[in-house]
Structure 1
Amino acid sequence: MNQLKKLLIIGSVWPEPNSSAAGSRMLQLISLFKEEGFGITLASPATDSDFMFDLEEIDVVKKTIVLNCSSFDAFVKELDPSIVLFDRFMMEEQFGWRVSENCPDALRLLDTEDLHCLRLARQKAFKEKRQFKIADLLMEEVAKREIASLLRCDLSLMISEYEMELLTDTFKIDSCLLFYLPFLLEPLTNADLDLLPSFEERKNFVFIGNFLHEPNWNAVQYLKETMWSKIKKQLPEAVLNVYGAYPSQKVLQLNNVKEGFLIRGRAANANEVVEQARVVLAPLRFGAGIKGKLLEAMYCGTPSVTTTIGAESMHGNLDWNGFISDDVEAFAKHAVQLYQVEALWLKAQENGIEIINHRYLKRLFDADFKEKIKYLQANLEQHRLNNFMGSLLQHHTLKSTKYMSMWIEGKNKV
């Protein structure tokens, strides 16, 4: 195959679209490159899971790789990809120097998913019971690693406009190194809405989210300990169904039939359970990126109540498909209103469709993204000359990370 049409994706995990939005995101990116005729290999050091997507179905080669092992060098040199996409900055840290050394002319892309340093800094501030400040980011150790990774790559894909602003304004990242590429969806029409369950046909509340993700676990605790009783008091027949992949024993222990707080575990089909619910609850108190669960709710025609963090960067100047509140009493009040008042519910549903059709359609972004990739491939040398800080970090990282990795590999052989 022509070297110009080979893409290597280095994933932190194998895609699980039914477990997390990140899995769906990866399949969307694969689809974009398949449309351009790329032969794609997805490599990961992760162990296989029962829920991983069958990559053979979409003609993607699956390759298991090993951390701190020179076997990757031989693999990537033989593959000789023209583009390498790192799934999260940790994969660039581990394998970026090897790619740079063995395939120096390959375009290096980073899919950030969200800014990890922002999520961790907010989480730390929350647990220390203080307000998050931008200055917290500058002191976050992960920020130094993550920003260095962004600078070493030729282009980083961002799903949040707020995070792009943080990178350009706070960290002074050149905008030419960033590309806004949110979740990519097909349009929703009135005909699509007619196929969805109506207000009368739906019942109960739902929360859905991967429990390996700390903000989701915290939100479920918050619902159980603080919010659900306020809602249940006004709607005694209502039930909150909590779905999510990889629930721990701590999560399972929250199940309480008498209180109508039901831990359901992994959803076989996330869309189906969200479509059957009347309202999605997502009281997220820290996090980053844009929330797949809330976008999914809009696509399923299900209004939601969330927090400022939950809705961050998702709706622009458009009205939310429900309510946004950080106050416990107001959150509960809005949840009950949405549940009881059909006119309010229908308006919220319409708002969600507006958000999808104005901010997340694939056709709004795919052509520009493909052109950007072609431009960078044609002008890669000059692009890298313009990114001196990236070259500097690449030089020093190549040295330090290379010898650390070689030391670990040598130690493992003893």
Structure 2
Amino acid sequence: MKNILFLTPHLPSVQAGGAKFTFLLLNELSKVAKIDLIYFKYNNETEYIVPNENINVLRVMKNSTLIKVIHTLQHPFTHPIFSVRFDFALLAFIKHIMKIKNYDLLYLDHSQMFMYGKYFPKIQKILMAHDVMAQRYERCGNWLSKKIILSKEKELMSIPNSTVFTFSEKDNSIIMKKYGIKAYSTDFFLNKDIIEAIPNNIERKIVLMGKWDRPDNLDGLIWFLDKVLSLLDKDIKILIYGKWMPKNIMERIKNDSRIEYLGFVENPYPNIANCLAMISPLFSGAGVKVKVIEALACGTPVIGTKIAFEGISKDFSAFMTQVNNSYAFAKTINTMSISVHERKEFKQKFLQKYHDKSIVKYIVLSGTEQ
């Protein structure tokens, strides 16, 4: 078995897209490797529960706004996206552990962990880029932040003995174009609940899902409420899943009988499989959207903006409707009509084609060579 030191900036959890991938990756990887885990968490979050004896939690790092500000101030010439989780005490701890234990691989999860790789040039590393920061800040940053991002991301992805992974060939192409670095892609994990969610009885409901403290998601939801909701047929119900909804938005939607805010739900997939569509009005952000992949795996069509579908194969375009304005959103929702039979056929096709790239297989079989 390989020995892996695994650093992630978030609590591994099924409650959010990126953290969910990390959670499921740890489950799968720990079946074939021994893992020492270091993760960050806020005080209001629960502890990570290890699935088996092959995962050992070495350290849980405290996370808070104050701590992130301190980390940022310690690196005034580095963009916060790379420095916000960089802790010198943790670095000293890792250096100490590296002298004691012989790791085969250092796994750095998210761009926020990449800076640690600079201090361990000799060990083999995987840099898991959940988003390509050059693209994310190209859409929302000023010229100075873009310049800093491009410079630092290239520097960190170029660390010796590193292999960069993303979630799509599109992101790989961006990394090659901007930095001249070859990256590899991996698929998301689809759990048993998603695979077993079967379309049987389609209802006049639509679903929005997200981690609502993320501006990308929240801005899209507010836009939907402002611009699209009033244009929908009155019999259409709206289900909203996801935690951390701001109080002012909660107040706004609780008085609308058509909207049901469900918060975090362990298994929303039977509802998703039997709704008219998932709605994804995204106007910023980067990377492949986990919720879109999960909806398609349920046999559910997705109506969204161009950004919602980035990095997803055109093989699945029959169930991905790209719209650009509120009227197109509303018209597509109001007239959506795909039979149960068609949905089941699509679900089967999606599940057969989607899983062909595995980061676990890469780690176990080749480690550093694709």
TM-score, L = length of structure 1: 0.73
Residues 20/46 of structure 1: CA separation in 2 closer, same or farther (3 Å cut): same
Contact residue 33 and residue 54 of structure 2 kept, 8 A = no
Q: Matched residues in 1 for 2:266 and 2:254: separation?
A: 22
- Deviation, 1:226, is 0.6
Partner of 1:22: 18
Residue 116 (str. 1) matches residue 136 (str. 2): no
Residues 275/6 of structure 1: CA separation in 2 closer, same or farther (3 Å cut): same
- Deviation, 1:310, is 0.3
- Which deviates further from its counterpart, 244-253 or 51-60? 51-60
Q: Matched residues in 2 for 1:312 and 1:86: separation?
A: 24
Contact residue 87 and residue 112 of structure 1 kept, 8 A = yes
Residues 199/114 of structure 1: CA separation in 2 closer, same or farther (3 Å cut): same
Residue 373 (str. 1) matches residue 367 (str. 2): yes
- Deviation, 1:205, is 1.1
Contact residue 12 and residue 91 of structure 1 kept, 8 A = yes
Residues 147/349 of structure 1: CA separation in 2 closer, same or farther (3 Å cut): farther
Question: CA-to-partner distance for each residue in 1:220-257, whole Å, 9 max, x for gaps?
Answer: 111101111112xxx21222111112222233233143
Contact residue 206 and residue 276 of structure 2 kept, 8 A = yes
Contact residue 307 and residue 324 of structure 1 kept, 8 A = yes
Partner of 2:331: 333
Partner of 2:220: 219
- Deviation, 1:21, is 1.6
Partner of 2:201: 199
Residue identity opposite 1:161 in structure 2:
E
- Deviation, 1:281, is 0.8
Structure 2 matches for 1:15-414, cutoff 5 A? 15-17=12-14, 19-35=15-31, 37-47=32-42, 50-51=45-46, 53-57=48-52, 59-64=54-59, 67-69=87-89, 70-93=92-115, 95-98=116-119, 100=120, 105-124=122-141, 139-152=146-159, 154-173=162-181, 175=182, 178-185=183-190, 196-200=198-202, 202-231=203-232, 235-258=233-256, 260-338=258-336, 341-343=337-339, 346-347=341-342, 350-351=345-346, 353-358=348-353, 360-361=354-355, 367=361, 370-373=364-367, 375=369
Residue identity opposite 1:42 in structure 2:
L
Contact residue 16 and residue 52 of structure 1 kept, 8 A = no
Contact residue 283 and residue 306 of structure 1 kept, 8 A = yes
Q: Matched residues in 2 for 1:43 and 1:97: separation?
A: 17
Which of 1 and 2 has greater Rg?
Answer: 1
Give structure 1 regions of 4+ aligned residues with deviation exceeding 6 angstroms. 186-189
Residues 237/316 of structure 1: CA separation in 2 closer, same or farther (3 Å cut): closer
Contact residue 306 and residue 323 of structure 2 kept, 8 A = yes
Partner of 1:409: none
Residues 39/143 of structure 1: CA separation in 2 closer, same or farther (3 Å cut): same
- Deviation, 1:186, is 7.5
Contact residue 243 and residue 263 of structure 1 kept, 8 A = yes
TM-score, L = length of structure 2: 0.81
- Deviation, 1:372, is 3.6
Q: Matched residues in 1 for 2:193 and 2:88: separation?
A: 46
Greater share of residues in strand: 2
Residue identity opposite 1:90 in structure 2:
Q
- Deviation, 1:356, is 3.9
Question: CA-to-partner distance for each residue in 1:39-61, whole Å, 9 max, x for gaps?
Answer: 11110243465455412446411
Greater share of residues in helix: 1
Aligned residues: 342
Question: CA-to-partner distance for each residue in 1:137-176, whole Å, 9 max, x for gaps?
Answer: 9934223222221111510111121111111123322x2x
CA RMSD of aligned residues (A): 3.1
Residues 328/58 of structure 1: CA separation in 2 closer, same or farther (3 Å cut): farther
Q: Matched residues in 2 for 1:364 and 1:5: separation?
A: 17
- Which deviates further from its counterpart, 137-146 or 6-15? 137-146
- Percent identity reads 15
